[in-house]
């Protein structure tokens, strides 16, 4: 693949995208754009910002039109009105209104961009279908990256037939896992020639083993205490409070919770909680002994792959989305709803240093197949035939 900048021009649409104010929001999308640019593609990003959405997603005050360049990538952030994503009496969907508002913002911003060879959307709604609508209007191909843990909420807002139709309209679909693809081909009748699996990738220059003692000193964490790390949104699906409950009987174990959300971990075993910039995540992960994520649903868990790349043994869910990246050689797979199982998995590693080291080394070796550069190269090869 050429690195000369002679690749296709790509217009990416993203409902969430990192900014100088929200570095921790969807950093993996920007990382992919950076890699595509390195491979010769010319990406531009339209990432509309809600003027009345949750504060977490705002990149600036609520008025005005923002534009910036990061790592050589032009990013436009037109404002739009969010109506949330609720189902009201009479089965009225506010998410449909949000999608319309989002689409109009993207269309306005697209007038400032030269015609692309392909439009790219991350997640099916609203970004993916807005990207496809834009592609249809200007006469180019469309690709949608599907990393959803579930499509059920889409059906509630748009209906089964609409989801099937919209998936069928895209030129290419990028799935992050086999289970992700099987939902599309099985329930939504997507043809096998239109969809392909590209597991999530990790930047090995950023996520790599570092000295644990040095990391703990710099972060103010105890040097000798066993520490488990959790990374993800503080919500029921991800399970931060299940992690805290699982270690409650072992007061010697501390935990760091990297993220934010409504379910806030509290108590003497919580050594840290809060959102962390993406480039600081490796230091926090390397300060821990074990990574724990009892998640109920994922497309493909980026957080698990990043922890593996830091050489951590994993305790996570015995569910299909994990089976492609985890097995007993590098982690302990558990029922994510069973507190005792989570606790037993953690304790078995805390109490057995050799087992921790063996699983951690196997996890590190396994991530060699999940490099972000190789993923970007393969995706670019997959989508180039539909560029026009």
pLDDT in tens, 277-330: 999 999 999 999 999 999 999 988 899 999 999 999 999 999 998 998 999 999
Provide the 10 A C-beta neighbour count for residue 211: 11
Helical (H) or strand (E) element with 357: helix 353-366
Regions in the chain scoring below 50 on pLDDT: 1-4, 53-63
Q: Kindly state the helix (H) or strand (E) to which residue 42 belongs, with its residue range.
A: strand 42-46
What confidence score (pLDDT) does residue 58 get? Answer: 42
Residues of the chain with CATH 3.40.50.2000: 9-199+371-386, 212-369
What pLDDT score was predicted for residue 156?
93
What pLDDT sits at residue 57?
Answer: 40
**Cα–Cα distance, 325 to 199 (Å, whole number):** 9
Give me the CATH code for the 9-199+371-386 domain, please: 3.40.50.2000
pLDDT at 60: 44
| Distance, CA of 263 to CA of 233 (rounded, Å) | 9
Structure tokens at 94: 């506010």
pLDDT at 206: 94
- Widest pairwise Cα distance in the chain: 61
Dihedral (Cα; 380, 208, 251, 327), 10-degree rounding: 50
For domain 212-369, the CATH superfamily is Glycogen Phosphorylase B; (3.40.50.2000)
């Amino acid at each position: 693949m050429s690195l000369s900048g002679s690749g296709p021009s790509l217009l990416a649409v993203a409902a969430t995208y990192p900014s100088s104010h929200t570095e921790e929001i969807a950093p993996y999308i920007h990382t992919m754009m950076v890699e595509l640019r390195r491979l010769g593609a010319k990406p531009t990003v339209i990432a509309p910002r809600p003027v009345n959405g949750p504060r977490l997603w705002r990149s600036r005050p609520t008025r005005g039109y923002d534009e910036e360049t990061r790592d050589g990538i032009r990013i436009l952030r037109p404002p739009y009105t969010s109506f949330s994503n609720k189902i009201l009496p009479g089965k009225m969907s506010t998410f449909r209104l949000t999608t319309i508002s989002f689409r109009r913002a993207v269309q306005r911003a697209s007038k400032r961009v030269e015609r692309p060879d392909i439009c790219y959307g991350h997640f099916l709604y609203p970004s993916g279908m807005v990207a496809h609508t834009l592609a249809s209007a200007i006469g180019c191909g469309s690709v949608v990256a599907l990393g959803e843990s579930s499509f059920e909420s889409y059906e509630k807002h748009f209906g089964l037939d609409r989801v099937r139709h919209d998936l069928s309209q895209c030129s290419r679909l990028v799935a992050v896992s086999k289970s992700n693809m099987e939902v599309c081909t099985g329930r939504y009748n997507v043809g096998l020639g239109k969809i392909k699996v590209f597991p999530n990738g990790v930047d090995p220059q950023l996520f790599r083993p570092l000295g644990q003692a040095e990391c703990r000193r710099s972060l103010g964490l105890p040097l000798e205490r066993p520490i488990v790390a959790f990374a993800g949104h503080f919500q029921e699906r991800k399970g931060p409070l299940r992690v805290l409950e699982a270690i409650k009987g072992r007061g010697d174990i501390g935990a760091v919770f990297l993220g934010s959300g409504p379910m806030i971990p509290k108590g003497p075993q919580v050594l840290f909680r809060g959102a962390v910039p993406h480039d600081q995540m490796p230091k926090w992960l390397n300060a821990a002994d074990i990574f724990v994520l009892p998640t109920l649903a994922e497309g493909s868990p980026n957080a698990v792959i990043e922890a593996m790349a830091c050489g951590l043994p994993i305790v996570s869910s015995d569910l299909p989305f994990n089976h492609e990246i985890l097995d007993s050689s590098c982690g302990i797979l558990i029922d994510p709803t069973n507190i005792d199982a989570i606790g037993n998995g953690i304790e078995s590693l805390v109490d057995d240093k050799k087992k921790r080291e063996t699983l951690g080394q196997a996890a590190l070796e396994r991530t060699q197949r999940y490099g972000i550069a190789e993923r970007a190269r393969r995706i670019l090869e997959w989508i180039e035939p539909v560029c026009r």
